[in-house]
Amino acid sequence: MASPFTETVYKATRQIPKGKVATYAQLARMCGNPKAARAVGAAMRTNPDIPKTPCHRVVASDGSLTGYSAGFGIKTKREMLLAEGVSFKGTKVNLAVSQWQK
DNA sequence: ATTTTGACTTAAG
DNA sequence: GCTTAAGCCAAAA
């Protein structure tokens, strides 16, 4: 835990089912602040590990893979999502079929 | 308390 | 597809 908001973001992130992805804005909305997408990203930056919080399942609003500090960065993130069965559209995630639906 | 920064988003060129 | 610009939020300095 780093801060209350960050804690909430982690909790939301852990709820993302395998093979699905959620956008920063979507998680922000779950946390109670639909406009805190940026803060969500800041929280993710603090989270160094995968098994604890699947930050690799969190993508930008258009499905683009941004950030990620582990492994080879974006490249690693893409590989992981692909391995989980997430549908990809070139460099982006095919949100139409892989976006998490609450 | 104020400023800076950033894994964001949308709009516009 | 990429860069700028403006908007909003939270954590860190």
Residue A85, Ramachandran bin (φ over 0: left; ψ between -120 and 50: alpha; else beta): left
- Asked whether residue A69 carries a pLDDT value surpassing 70, the answer given is yes
Q: Do A25 and A61 contact (CB within 8 A), yes or no? A: yes
Quick one: which H or E segment has residue A46? helix A37-46
A66 CA, C1 C1': Å apart: 15
The one-letter code for the residue type at A96 is: A
In this predicted model, what pLDDT tens digit does every residue of A71-89 receive, in sequence order? Answer: 888 999 999 999 999 999 9
Q: Helix, strand, or coil here: A7?
A: helix
pTM for this model (two decimals): 0.92
In this predicted model, what pLDDT tens digit does every residue of A24-59 receive, in sequence order? Answer: 999 999 999 999 999 999 999 988 688 889 999 999
Quote the tokens at residue A71: 């492994």
- Asked whether residue A2 carries a pLDDT value surpassing 80, the answer given is no
> Which domains, ranges and CATH numbers included, belong to chain A?
4-98 (1.10.10.10)
Q: List, by residue number, the catalytic residues of A.
A: 55
Q: Which bases of chain C are contacted by protein, using any atom under 7 A from a CB?
A: 1, 7-12
